[in-house]
């Protein structure tokens, strides 16, 4: 483990436990606070004895500071929706292990873990229409095509080096964004309807792009968000709407006669069919039409969302494989090269050795070990 990561973990743990530099410096046997300050600034290396004393002081294993398969407080997460606090804390640690493992093995392979991000001109005071327009522009600049939802995950991985993981989350979580230095990750609950998965991916992309100027809440739970945080979430939703439902595609797709009729069922059918073609939800399509001025707000309010729901069986017909092909291939490389054992790989994933073999099969990859 490199010194930079060790000192970041040490500082992150100190700050999370609300320990000042003077008290920790004393526990580590330093003569003054400046020695610890020099370590945190990278001016001095962390000695093995320093790690042992720090582990004793904080009540953790020394591996907390050195294990490459753990994040140990290095990353920032933002979770969409909410789960029980204890469940989410445990799941965040597990997700951190996935991301840390990918980072560690990718570096050993000599592959990039430096995610790229498009630049957009939004701030907390931007209008929802401006957010949607930026999403539309990003869709075109990334070449997402006429059905952006179908291409978004692969484009984010291939063009922006963003890690996309479709996972089995704890109850109440639909997605998350994680910022780990230069590596960006989007986690998606693979059991959500297809339209919701795509919309959440666009929503989390917004957070990754705008994190510095509009840092999202750790947990996006409606009752716990401040007024400013609620606005950021609405901007993210509108950005995702523009990203997945570009203006030029919508204009050419809609049955204007049906949309302008006074028959809510005909309007709902028109919206539902367009949503199905673009791989988004009916309600998301309805409000995108309002933003584009193709449907009046009052009319949209009269169209019951129940009429816009897709057929559940059709929506869930294809469940995405766990994680992603890129992630699983990287894990397989690490096993083949001896950088982690089969048992350790299974522990990182949180599964059995037999199921780990199934995971490679899900992605059409050769299993790198014998059962």
What is the rounded end-to-end Cα distance, in angstroms, of the chain?
Answer: 31
Residue 198 CB partners (closer than 8 Å, separation 6+):
148, 149, 152, 244, 279, 280
Indicate if the pLDDT at residue 261 is higher than 90: no
Assess contact for 254 and 210: CB atoms under 8 A. Answer: no
- State residue 143's pLDDT score: 97
Average pLDDT for the chain: 93
Confidence of residue 2 (pLDDT cuts 50, 70, 90): confident
- The mean pLDDT value for 279-307 works out to 93
Per-residue pLDDT tens digits for 343-361: 999 999 999 999 999 999 9
Q: Does pLDDT of 136 surpass 60?
A: yes
Treating both helix axes as pointing N-terminal to C-terminal, what angle do 3-16 and 33-40 enclose, rounded to 10 degrees? Answer: 120
| DSSP letters spanning 189-225 | ETTS-HHHHHHHHHHHHHHHHHTTTSPPPSEE-GGG-
Q: Each residue of 40-90: pLDDT tens digit?
A: 999 999 999 999 999 999 999 999 999 999 888 889 999 987 667 678 888
Alpha carbon dihedral 350, 74, 156, 109, in 10-degree steps, equals: -70
pLDDT at 315 over 60: no
Contacts of 323 (CB under 8 A, 6+ apart): 98, 165, 166, 167, 349, 359
Burial 149-182 (b: 16+ CB within 10 A, else e): bebbbebbbeebbbbbbbbebbebbbbbbbbbee
Given a cut of 60, whether residue 313 has pLDDT beyond it is no
Could you tell me whether strands 76-80 and 175-180 are parallel, antiparallel, or unpaired per DSSP bridges?
Answer: antiparallel
Predicted local confidence at residue 35, as pLDDT: 95
- Do 282 and 275 meet the contact criterion of CB atoms below 8 Å apart? yes
Res. 294: pLDDT tops 70 = yes
pLDDT score, position 312: 54
pLDDT at 257 over 90: no
70 in Cβ contact with 63 (< 8 Å): yes
Give the pLDDT score at 259: 85
For the chain, domains (ranges, CATH) are 3-66 (1.10.260.40), 247-315 (no CATH)
- Mean pLDDT on 5-19: 91
Q: How confident is the model at residue 311 (pLDDT cuts 50, 70, 90)?
A: low
Which range has the worst mean pLDDT, 39-43, 161-165, 185-189, 311-315? Answer: 311-315
- Please state, for a pLDDT cut of 90, what percent of the chain lies above it: 80
The predicted-structure confidence for 209-250, as pLDDT tens digits, reads as follows: 999 999 999 998 777 789 999 999 999 999 999 999 999 999
Whether 174 contacts 203, CB under 8 Å = no
pLDDT surpasses 90 at 256: no
């Amino acid at each position: 483990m490199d010194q930079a990561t060790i000192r970041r973990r040490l500082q992150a743990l100190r700050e999370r436990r609300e320990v000042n530099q003077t008290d920790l410096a004393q526990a580590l046997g330093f003569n003054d606070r400046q020695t610890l300050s020099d370590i945190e600034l990278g001016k001095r290396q962390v000695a093995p004895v320093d790690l042992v004393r720090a582990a004793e002081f904080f009540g953790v294993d020394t591996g907390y500071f050195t294990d490459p398969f753990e994040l140990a407080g290095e990353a920032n997460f933002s979770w969409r929706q909410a789960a029980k606090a204890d469940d989410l804390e445990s799941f965040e640690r597990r997700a951190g292990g996935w991301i840390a493992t990918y980072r560690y093995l990718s570096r050993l392979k000599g592959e990039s873990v430096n995610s790229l991000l498009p630049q957009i001109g939004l701030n907390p005071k931007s209008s929802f229409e401006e957010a949607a327009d930026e999403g539309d522009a990003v869709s075109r600049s990334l070449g997402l095509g006429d059905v952006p939802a179908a291409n978004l995950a692969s484009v984010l991985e291939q063009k922006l080096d963003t890690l996309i993981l479709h996972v089995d989350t704890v109850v109440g979580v639909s997605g998350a964004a994680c910022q780990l230095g230069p590596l960006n990750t989007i986690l998606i609950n693979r059991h959500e309807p297809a339209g919701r998965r795509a919309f959440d991916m666009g929503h989390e992309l917004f957070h990754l792009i705008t994190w510095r100027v509009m840092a999202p809440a750790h947990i996006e739970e409606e009752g716990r968000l401040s007024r400013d945080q609620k606005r950021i979430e609405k901007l993210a939703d509108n950005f995702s709407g523009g990203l997945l439902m570009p203006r030029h595609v919508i204009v050419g797709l809609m049955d204007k006669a049906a949309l302008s009729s006074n028959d809510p069922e005909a309007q709902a059918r028109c919206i539902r069919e367009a949503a199905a073609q673009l791989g988004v939800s009916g309600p998301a399509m309805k409000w995108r039409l309002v933003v584009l001025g193709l449907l009046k707000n009052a009319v949209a309010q009269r169209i019951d969302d129940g009429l816009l729901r897709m057929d559940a069986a059709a929506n869930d017909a294809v469940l995405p494989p766990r994680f992603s092909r890129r992630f699983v291939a990287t894990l397989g490389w690490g096993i083949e090269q001896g950088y982690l054992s089969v048992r350790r790989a299974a522990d990182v994933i949180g599964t059995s050795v037999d199921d780990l073999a199934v995971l490679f099969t899900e992605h059409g990859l050769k299993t790198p070990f014998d059962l």
